[in-house]
Structure 1
Amino acid sequence: MKEYTLISSNNDIQEYRRHLEKNNTSIVAMDFEGEFNLHVYGEKLCLIQIFDGVKYFVIDPFNISKEELAKTLEDRRVMKIFYDAISDSKLVYKQYGIKMQAVYDLKLLVDILDFDKRGLDAVISRLLGITILKKKKFQQYNWTLRPVDIDAMQYALSDVEHLFVLKKKLFMQIEEECKTEELIYTIIKKAVDFDKKTIPGILKSFDYKKLRSTEKKLLQKIFDIREEIAKEINVPPNLVMNKSQLFRASKDFTTIKTMEFNRRIPRNIRNKFIERLDMI
């Protein structure tokens, strides 16, 4: 079992940065666990896992200020090895306005090397011959819960355990295949555009593109009301109205009257939702 230092306050995270400075640490492996509209409303950073090559650290951000998180994540003096960092970078920007700096995303190297399977576990298995256990068990874990399950924490730490070795192996292969220059160009081109507006996945789906113009406008209005209600009672929007119901209503608004609600949605909230929809 991996031992780790828990960082859960402003004082803790300040001490962590002093530890990095004292030990002249200029590179760490890092990963996030978050909530993405699966158990509660919205997208939230829930854990930051760190490995400095010797020690493991877990930052619990719930009681740490935005300013202290920014000092850690925006520090250019410490390189942060990630695997597929785009969604993590966008998460902390959306939630805190933090623009992560000095990020070394190993997924870019895997893309350049054109691996057939590009998930982190598949890459670890291919290059290191290691199989990550209990993956499925924690894919839908509720990371907002405290305390975090012991096995879940160990699973989270496994995402940073091998990043140093992966970095070395991947870069060696990049050099062997004479793709260093391509890597440099890719890093420049793939820089995260923090100011690019995020479009909800449902509004980019094939089903949405098939709708008529009037149906798209109606779906957008229903979508916005669904978001308001879900945020108000802190549940995933899909519990208020699922994707199938949303598309049916955009094509035939009368289906709203016979819609079956999830049992987690209180009757007064159901009535409020219908009332707001009737005002469209």
Structure 2
Amino acid sequence: MVCSSAFPWPYLLGGKQQAFLGVYGPLRRVQSLFQYYDDGGPHAVICQDEIIWVGTNEALSEAIEKLLLSEAVAIDTEYDSFRYFREKLCLIQMWASRSCFLFDPLSPLDLAPLGELFSNPSILKIFHAGENDIRLLKRDYSFSVVNIFDTAKAAALLGEEHLSLEHLVVKYLGVMFEKKRKIQRSRWDRRPLTAKQLAYASLDVKYLYDLYRVLREKLSARNLLGAAEEAFEGVAHTVWCGRIFNHRGYKKILNRHVFSPEEQEKLKAIYEWRHSVAEKLNQAPFMILTDDELAQVVQEGVSALDPKKEKRWGKEIREIFFREGDYGADIPR
């Protein structure tokens, strides 16, 4: 693809960040181009006229109208499973008609009308390792998902050992493509999103349709379409289920430290308490207390905690220790 201008990935050039943030409007197109360079061949590129931010109900209706005219739509999501107890869906990307439509689940916009697309059997939905995407979409919007093609499942049936999107795009499309882990793990729950994040998200779907065509042809040549359809059906029927608490999980902490029998019981108690608090606050357990902090509290007492954490959690932990028979725990405070 030839674009009107070219800037090195992953930097935003041609203006300050503030100028870029103006894209957050109804169906306004991002006024920048992103690409990355490598010495191996053609480069993954996203152009200024390809990214569309859907920001109003009117824009949503217009976007859905365009998507429903497509024979196939490539779909991906960005979510935060690192900092939250319950994964937070942060962005939905859809590629069709040479455009990437970006939908914001964190905005007041009601995205339920997208359900018409997901339930339409005449429109192929293309995912890459789509189980988690579909789980979250069903959890948050109760979408019914039919007629999908999963490029990761297809590649696995073809005997591929490396199923990452960047590997498959390079191998089957000859396009140099790299997903930066730093961006992948960035704060997708914050607004506004950065230029790097929007480029990353858009590139995740841009090449899925071309990859689908190549993989489908190879599946057909090897009489694997039937097996693939069964695999895709399984992905489409994926459902959300909450995090299952591992009551024995505290034992991995035992393996790194030496505890007395009494301390082991205290560790088990606050390990279960941490899970309960994390679920209530929808925060990852480590954001309440890390494993090392749990061990430290058990062995050295609540006063060993960071002052802020002691102030927030100290009373509850002391009460737990008191119930576990540590009558030396100075409660309440």
> Retained in 1: the 8 A contact 2:80–2:89?
yes
Specify whether residues 197 and 9 from structure 1 end up closer, same or farther in structure 2 by C-alpha distance, changes over 3 A only. same
Deviation at 1:117, TM superposition (A): 0.9
Q: Are 2:236 and 1:236 aligned?
A: no
Specify whether residues 115 and 14 from structure 1 end up closer, same or farther in structure 2 by C-alpha distance, changes over 3 A only. same
Q: Are 2:305 and 1:257 aligned?
A: no
Q: Which segment is superposed worse, 65-74 or 78-87? A: 65-74
Q: Are 2:58 and 1:11 aligned?
A: yes
Specify whether residues 201 and 229 from structure 1 end up closer, same or farther in structure 2 by C-alpha distance, changes over 3 A only. closer
1:119 is matched with 164
2:99 is matched with 55
Specify whether residues 27 and 259 from structure 1 end up closer, same or farther in structure 2 by C-alpha distance, changes over 3 A only. farther
1:25 is matched with 70
CA distance in 1, matches of 2:126, 2:95: 10
**What letter corresponds to residue 157 of structure 1 in structure 2?**
S
CA distance in 2, matches of 1:135, 1:188: 30
Identity %: 21
- Consecutive unaligned residues of structure 1, counting only runs of 5 or more, are none
Higher relative contact order (CA 8 A, sep 6+): 1
Deviation at 1:146, TM superposition (A): 0.7
Correspondence list, 1:96-135, <5 A: 96-133=141-178, 135=180
CA distance in 2, matches of 1:228, 1:205: 14
Specify whether residues 241 and 60 from structure 1 end up closer, same or farther in structure 2 by C-alpha distance, changes over 3 A only. same
2:81 is matched with 36
Deviation at 1:240, TM superposition (A): 1.4
SS at match of 1:81: strand
RMSD (Å) for aligned C-alpha atoms: 3.6
Specify whether residues 74 and 241 from structure 1 end up closer, same or farther in structure 2 by C-alpha distance, changes over 3 A only. farther
Deviation at 1:242, TM superposition (A): 2.3
Specify whether residues 54 and 223 from structure 1 end up closer, same or farther in structure 2 by C-alpha distance, changes over 3 A only. same
Which aligned segments of 4 or more residues in structure 1 are displaced greater than 6 angstroms? 201-206, 215-220
> Retained in 2: the 8 A contact 1:34–1:143?
yes
Q: More helix by proportion, 1 or 2?
A: 1
> Retained in 2: the 8 A contact 1:49–1:157?
yes
SS at match of 2:59: helix
Cα deviation, 1:43-99, whole Å, max 9, x if unaligned, reads 111111111041121011112226335444444443221100001111223334434
1:176 is matched with 221
**What letter corresponds to residue 314 of structure 2 in structure 1?**
N
**What letter corresponds to residue 165 of structure 1 in structure 2?**
D
> Retained in 1: the 8 A contact 2:77–2:133?
yes
**What letter corresponds to residue 54 of structure 2 in structure 1?**
I
CA distance in 2, matches of 1:216, 1:99: 46
Larger radius of gyration: 2
> Retained in 2: the 8 A contact 1:47–1:143?
yes
SS at match of 1:114: coil
Specify whether residues 229 and 259 from structure 1 end up closer, same or farther in structure 2 by C-alpha distance, changes over 3 A only. farther
TM-score, with length taken from structure 2: 0.67
* Number of aligned residue pairs: 269
> Retained in 2: the 8 A contact 1:75–1:101?
yes
Correspondence list, 1:169-208, <5 A: 169-194=214-239, 198-199=243-244, 207=252
One of 98, 107, 112 as aligned partner of 1:67:
112
2:274 is matched with 226
Deviation at 1:27, TM superposition (A): 1.3
**What letter corresponds to residue 25 of structure 1 in structure 2?**
S
**What letter corresponds to residue 277 of structure 1 in structure 2?**
I
1:145 is matched with 190
SS at match of 1:61: coil
Cα deviation, 1:229-258, whole Å, max 9, x if unaligned, reads 335656432121224556x59xxx943835
